Structure formats: C-alpha cells, structure tokens
Amino acid sequence: MSSREALRRAAVLACAVLLVRLFAPWFCGLEGDAWYRGDPRVQRALADDLIAFEFRDDVERTATTNRFAGEWALVTHQMIALGLAQLCLEHSEWRGAYAPQVTKAARKSFLPEMRGFGTRAWYGEDALASLQGGHGHAYLAYSALAIGMARLVDPAFPAEAAASHDALIAAYERRLLASSTGLIETYPNEAYPTDVAAVAAAIAVHGRATGVDHHRVLQHWVSRVRAVQIDPASGLVFQRMGAIRGEPHDAPRGSGTGLAAYYAGFVDRALAESLAKGLFAHESTFFGFGAIREYAAGHRGGGDIDSGPVILGVSVAATGFSLAPARALGRRDSFERIYRTTALFGLPVGHGDRSRFATGGPIGNALLLAFLTSGSEVPR
Amino acid sequence: MTLHRRFRALWIVVAYLFGRELLGWMTAQRSLLTPGGGLDLPLAALTLVVLVLRLASVFVVPGVVLVRLLRRRIPPD
C-alpha cells in the first residue's frame, strides 16, 4: 500500500469516527433538552402511560391472585406518585387531572401487601402496628414520602390515611432524633443511608403539607450525614452501615449516593449539592455519553439488587438515579450526557399520545418519571 | 454487488425500527422483569436483538455509509 493510499484510508476512517461522534450523541439526546426544560409534551406522554399502567394494575389486582406486590411494586407506585406530584408542583394547572392519581398511587404503596417483605424481615412485626417500638422499618419511608407528596398536592386526600401517615412520621422523627449516627435500621442490623434519606424526605414533606415544624430532626439528620455517612475521600455515601456505631458495612457507592441526593433534595438543597458533587465526580464519559461509576476508587465489587448490572465499572442504577440531581440542581451538561445513555439503552418508544422506555418495565419507567421531572420539590 | 448487499447497512436500520415498534407494542402488554424476579424470555430475547440493532444503527451504520460514500468520491490510486 502506498503512503498516499494509507493517508487516504486514514482520512476516510477519521471522517467516519467524527461522524459517529457527532451523530450518536445527537440522535440519542434528541429529547434530552425537552426533558431538561420540562417540555409538557414529553412529560405528559410518560405520565399518561404510567397512569394507564395504574388502571391496568387496578383491574388485575381485583381479577387475579398474582398481585403486583413487594419491594418493586412499592417503589413503582411510590415513584409514579412522586413523578406525578412533581408535575403538579411544576404545572399547577395539571393538579385537577393528576392529583387524584398521585393519591391513588401513593395509597397503593401503603397497602399491607406492599410492605409484606419488610414485615417478614422483622419476623412478623408490621411497621404500622409497631410505631411505639424502636425498630427502624425505614423501607416504609418510601411510601410515607409518596403519601406526603399526595397530601401536598391533593386537597381531597382522605383524613383516615392522613392520620396513619402522621403517626408514622412521628415515629420516624422520634427514632431519628434518638440516633447519634443519624441512621435507623431498614432491616434487623442493616441500615442504609439512602433509606434514611427517604425517611428525612418524608418528614420534610410532611412538614410542608401539614405545617408541623420538623426543623430540629432535619438539622440533626443533615449534620449526621455530613459527619458520619459520607466517605470523605470519594464524596459518596456508604451503601450500608451499622445504625448504632455508624461503621461502614459496604463500600461508598454511586447507586446509594444518587438516590440519596434525590431524597436529600426534598430536605436541604446544600446537602443535595454536596452529594451531587461526589456523585458527578464519578461520571465516566465516552463519545458524548455519560454514566456513573458504582464504586469509589480503591473499592471493587459486582452488581447487586441496588446497583443493577455493573458494566465496565458503571452501574445502571447510579446512572439513572443521577438524572434527578442533575436536573434539579442545574447540571445541564451531565444531564444531557446521562440522558443520552438512558435513551440509548432505554429505547424510548411512542404510541399515540403516550410514550415509555421499552426496556424499563413499570419500575424503570416509574423511576424515570420521578427523576426526569425532579426539581420542583427542591427548596430554592 | 446485489442490491440487498449494497444496502445492507440500511437494512439494519429498518430491522431496528421494526423491532423497536414490536418491542414497544409488547412492553405495553407485559414486563421484561417481574416483581418476583422472573424473566420473560421471549421478551428478553427480543429486547437483546433490538438493543444490538440499535447499537449498530447508532455507532456502526453512519460510519459505514460515510466510508462507502467517500470511497466512491475519492477513488484509490
């Protein structure tokens, strides 16, 4: 091959690489800007598809014994409620249509069968039947946060459900104030800073919905997160810790930090920004696409129920979770890069006025609705 | 070169678009992963095929098409 021919081939290859470098992120990020700006067209399309899912779920719930229940179901209904409630806060004119749906999804996440996994983990002790006790039951904060958002946007929220919610929040407040580490247990001997962030978010939103002053417990939680739960070297929160002494039981990880940053946004913007700073320091980029590394430097591990698959060091969950703080805290470049990755593997499809991410399933789409519309819930 | 081979790269895009619509229709009826941890195998297989076609459509096809166009415009020595 002559040197001229080699040069010609190199030039053609360089042009092809340049084209792919420009085309791939442009094509996958077509709707990223619309999501970031809060374009009603994309928001409504996904929201309406999830409302349709809730209607199908209502029918199947009464018609079959194969109920959609358990940890995934709780999170699915919770995230649908959060996403729709955030839309109600962002577009007040949508409240009439969406607020009753927020209440419906939030109340489903509060059903006894949704928390059956937690009751079994605590050897038969139901979270709502043991409010005077000292066990954390932090997993139910996910539902409590959804109920709080429903109370915030739906004036017709039923009083008896509100009373149960008040009692749960009071129990969480008492348990959290009694903890010197700012941690309460999710399951016996297992505390997850992310779940406790959901507890704090639930308390904060309860305060906004009812006018009850929770300032003291929230300040206590914020100070304990900064002092105990964040790894100073990486800026990520430890995934799992001991509730009493606050010793790490797992590595500082991206998935836990991403979700904790979203929940912290309901409570304290400065803490959410601190967590986001650690999170986005772990962003890997390639060809205009972004993803979040799961483990802090010096730590290794595989994928699990929290992270989803970990591929080349980046995790599905950490990447998806990071969309929320990226949008809520104005990190536009990171949001666009990470949205491109989400769209590349999530496969957005539209049918009529509705759309969904084809590979997401109900839980993936519910999570993405909450994260892609995050922002209106964060105090300025 | 037969016509279908010449447009092989574009067939990938057509197959992807068709697969995406089929997947969109199927995911409206059922879910890839169930709360019990089960996997819908036909849906998982279709998802995998469509993802491979999407990756090829986004990262390979544009480059291949450009290389072919440039080769025609700049003939070798």
Q: What is the DSSP string of A184-210?
A: --SBTTBB-HHHHHHHHHHHHHHHHHH
A351/B25 Cβ within 8 A: yes
Answer yes or no: is the ipTM higher than 0.85: no
Query: Measured between CA atoms, how close is B4 to chain A, in angstroms?
Result: 22
Give residue B32's pLDDT. 72
CB A319 within 8 A of CB A364: no
Q: How many domains does chain B have?
A: 1
Q: How many domains does chain A have?
A: 1
Which residues constitute the domain of residue B7? 3-73
Q: CA–CA separation, A355 vs A43, rounded Å? A: 9
Select from B21, B26, B33, B68 the residue whose CB has the most chain A CBs within 10 Å, as the one to mutate to test that interface. B33
Helix (H, G, I), strand (E, B) or coil at A232: coil
- Looking at chain B, which residue has its C-alpha nearest residue A72? B35
Give residue A72's pLDDT. 82
Give residue A344's pLDDT. 95
pTM (two decimals): 0.92
A2/B67 Cβ within 8 A: no
Which residues, in sequence order, are bridge partners of residue A190? A187
Query: Measured between CA atoms, how close is A73 to chain B, in angstroms?
Result: 7
Q: Is residue A1 part of a domain?
A: no
Helix (H, G, I), strand (E, B) or coil at A122: coil
Token pair belonging to B66: 């450009």
Residue B72 scores a pLDDT above 80:
no
B76/A8 Cβ within 8 A: yes
Query: Measured between CA atoms, how close is B50 to chain A, in angstroms?
Result: 9
B27/A28 Cβ within 8 A: no
Task: Please state, for a pLDDT cut of 70, what percent of chain B lies above it.
Answer: 79
A347/B70 Cβ within 8 A: no
Select from A20, A286, A353, A367 the residue whose CB has the most chain B CBs within 10 Å, as the one to mutate to test that interface. A20
CB pairs below 8 Å between A and B: how many?
A: 81
Q: Is residue A14 part of a domain?
A: no
Q: CA–CA separation, A24 vs A26, rounded Å? A: 5
Give residue A121's pLDDT. 93
B25/A356 Cβ within 8 A: no
- Expressed in percent and rounded to 5, the helix, strand and coil fractions of chain B are 75, 5, 20
Which residues constitute the domain of residue A297? 32-58+68-372
Give tens-digit pLDDT for A175-218.
999 999 999 999 999 999 999 999 999 999 999 999 999 999 99
Q: CA–CA separation, A87 vs A74, rounded Å? A: 20
Average pLDDT over residues B17-29: 85
CATH number for A323? 1.50.10.10
Q: DSSP assignment of A282-351, as one string? A: TEEEETTEEEEBSB-TT-----BTTTB-EETTEEHHHHHHTHHHHHHTT-HHHHHHHHHHHHHHH-EEEE
Q: Token pair 């967590």 is at which residue?
A: A275
Query: Measured between CA atoms, how close is B53 to chain A, in angstroms?
Result: 11
Q: Which of A17, A28, A362 sits opposite B63 (nearest CB)?
A: A17
Residue B3 scores a pLDDT above 60:
no
Give residue B52's pLDDT. 94
Helix (H) or strand (E) holding A357: strand A354-357
Q: Is residue A337 part of a domain?
A: yes
Q: Is residue A17 part of a domain?
A: no
B74/A12 Cβ within 8 A: yes
Q: Which of A4, A16, A351 sits opposite B24 (nearest CB)?
A: A351
Residue B1 scores a pLDDT above 60:
no
In tens digits, what is the pLDDT along chain A, a chain of 380 residues? 678 888 888 888 898 889 889 999 999 999 999 999 999 999 999 999 999 999 988 887 765 555 556 788 899 999 999 999 999 999 999 999 999 999 999 999 999 988 988 999 999 999 999 999 999 999 999 999 999 999 999 999 999 999 999 999 999 999 999 999 999 999 999 999 999 999 999 999 999 999 999 999 999 999 999 999 999 999 999 999 999 999 999 999 999 999 999 999 999 999 999 999 999 999 999 999 999 999 999 999 888 888 888 999 999 999 999 999 999 999 999 999 999 999 999 999 888 899 999 888 888 999 999 999 999 998 87
